[in-house]
Amino acid sequence: MKDKDTCEIFCFDQTKVQKVQSSLASQDIQGMVSLFKVLADETRMKIAFALCEEDELCVCDVANIIGSTMATASHHLRTLKHLGLAKYRKEGKLVFYSLEDDHVHQLVRLASTPRKELQTSGT
């Protein structure tokens, strides 16, 4: 006989439900969704990972790392910047990008952690 993965009766803990609903109401869920959508793109995740490996990279470096044109790299870097995940600075004719803050760095590092390691540390 197969185990069911749903409750067989409907009941809930009103205190827990209200607490979580209250927390949800105070969060920018759409912003979180946008963050994950941006990083769900393979090219942008490669760029974010590269910016975790090196604190700062110029657009030319990024293009070479991801195997794209400078225009494609610039497009993805601008997307990361517009969503607050990356920042840039200009030095002469070069533009250097870095991650906006440590939160993005931590998120990418967590995503790159092997699933097996996550399962053992989470139990």
Residue 122 lies in a domain: no
Of 16, 65, 26, 15, which is closest to residue 45 (Cα–Cα)? 65
Q: How many CB atoms within 10 Å of residue 48? A: 23
Q: Cα-Cα-Cα-Cα dihedral of 114, 33, 95, 106, to 10°?
A: -40
Residue 101 lies in a domain: yes
pLDDT in tens, 13-48: 999 999 999 999 999 898 888 888 889 999 999 999
Higher-pLDDT residue of 118, 110? 110
Task: Domain of residue 103: give its range.
Answer: 30-114
Residue type, 61: D
Residue 117: the pLDDT is 59
Provide the domain count of the chain. Answer: 1
pLDDT in tens, 60-116: 999 999 999 999 999 999 999 998 899 999 999 999 999 998 888 999 999 888 766
Residue 86: the pLDDT is 96
Judge whether 43 and 77 are in contact, CB under 8 Å. no
94-99 sheet: strands from edge to edge: 57-58, 94-99, 86-91
Residue 1 lies in a domain: no
Residue 72 lies in a domain: yes
Residue 92 lies in a domain: yes
0.85 exceeded by the pTM? no
